[in-house]
A = this chain, B = another copy of it.
Amino acid sequence: MKFSSKVQRCGLSPIRKFHPYAEAAKAAGKKVYHLNIGQPDIATPAACFQAVREFAQPVLEYAPSPGIPSLIQAVQGYYDRLGTHLEEGDILITTGGSEALQMVLNCILDEGDEVIVPEPFYPNYSTFVYAAGGEIRPLPTTAEEGYFYADRKRIEALINERTRAILITNPGNPTGVVLTPEQSRMIAEVARDHGLFLIGDEVYREFVYGGEDLASIITYEDMPENIVVIDSVSKRFSACGARIGALISRNKELMNHALKFCQARLSVATLDQVAAAALYTVPADYFAATREEYKRRRDTVVSKLAEIPGVLCKCPEGAFYLMAKLPVDNADDFQMFLLREFDDNGETVMYAPGEPFYGTPGRGVDEIRIAYVINEADLSRAIELLGKGIAAYNAKKK
């Protein structure tokens, strides 16, 4: 049987690659600290479950294809508080941020069209871009520069006649990089000046630790044609399992095209939309408490990493991830070593190896992504294990 060339370019999740070895390590009695998965441990606000319990309609019907009115209004209210007003038609509710991104890519990419993406980037972007027939043009960064990418010249050097969009994750996954308002505006102007879409994956918007105001490229009301935002309740409200996202843009033609895909898949899950609408009623102190918790975790990870000789990690400003460059030859081999050969008092650690976050072949082999979504004590111990593991691995290699 023949399979499509696009699916053959896609790969299984690199983040899941070591799952069988982790299971084997656990079966052998080892405790494994997980720094590899971005599933927050923060409790989902009770309003979510309460709304679902109160659902009283006898038939679980299709919702309207663009989303239920109460959720669209809740999203409007949220952006009003951010200082920018969206019309109802500027918002399409989607099955997670993932579906929003798939939709916009299918709306704008033909075979061979290019999307500029700063690397390292979220690996699933590759699957979505390939499935739409497109190509990722990576915008290189370095650990030494703290994964800085907001450079007009470097971005413009990558634009050609096949370029259709710039896709940024801000705050960044996997880097934690947060753009300054000036950097963000500059990238939007590059997009505008070259007739490109700027797609901002802003699902970590609340997770900034330097006292910054919440930022969004959708506030650039002077460039309605170019700006597209991918949004989600997953991280904002620790409700990843709701699969409620949104595609947001003032580009009417784009939204009209995207609506075709919304109608074709009929609707987004009704109960989850009701739950998501309720989530938008949580008071602002919910975010403040969550932010403080993540900030403490970040500080713990960064300070503990600094104690390990040879590790390079500039303190990230947002999201709940960071990239670190390790003094090892290969992060994949090192992960295998940690799971199969290493332990300290019966404990070891998992991270996401860095290479799959890069589009440029050969890059990221000595880097890792850490998700700091577990409690501080466990994080501290996990980084300690990482340090001991590096020493043991390099001793063995000599």
Contact = CB atoms under 8 A, between A and B. Distances in A.
B106 A63 contact: no
Interface in A248-305: 251, 253-254, 256-257, 259-261, 263-272, 275
Interface stretch (A37-45, A137-145, A343-351): A37-45
Contact of A95 (B49, B256, B265): B265
Nearest to A105: B4
Nearest to A44: B60
Contact of A270 (B10, B242, B267, B270): B242
Given A95-B95, A264-B10, A4 B60 contact: no
A243 interface: yes
Contacts of A16: 65, 263
Contacts of A102: 265
A61 interface: yes
A61 B243 CA distance: 10
A7 B62 contact: no
Interface stretch (A22-30, A168-176, A233-241): A233-241
List the number of copies, as a whole number.
Answer: 2
A181 interface: no
B263 A13 contact: yes
B106 A7 contact: yes
A242 B57 CA distance: 13
A107 interface: yes
Contacts of A52: 52-53, 55, 271
Given A58-B44, A261-B127, A4 B107 contact: yes
A156 interface: no
A225 interface: yes
Nearest to A233: B60
Contacts of A63: 241
A259 B11 CA distance: 9
Which range holds the interface residue count of chain A?
A: 35 or more
A112 to B, nearest CB: 11
A292 to B, nearest CB: 18
A1 B195 contact: yes
Nearest to A258: B7
A152 interface: no
A100 to B, nearest CB: 11
Interface string A117-142: 00000001001100111000000000
B242 A106 contact: no
A154 interface: no
Contacts of A107: 3-4, 7
A61 B42 CA distance: 10
B106 A12 contact: no
A110 interface: yes
A2 interface: yes
A239 B106 CA distance: 28
Nearest to A126: B264
Which of A10, A43, A128, A226 counts the most B-chain CB atoms under 10 A from its CB?
A: A10
A7 B241 contact: no
Nearest to A260: B10
Given A1-B195, A60-B242, A124-B265, 13 more contacts: A1-B108, A4-B110, A7-B257, A13-B65, A60-B239, A95-B265, A98-B266, A106-B131, A124-B266, A127-B260, A127-B261, A133-B133, A240-B267
Closest 4 CB pairs of A and B: A241-B270, A127-B264, A13-B263, A60-B241
10 contacts: A1-B197, A7-B108, A44-B58, A44-B59, A60-B240, A96-B266, A124-B263, A240-B267, A241-B271, A271-B271
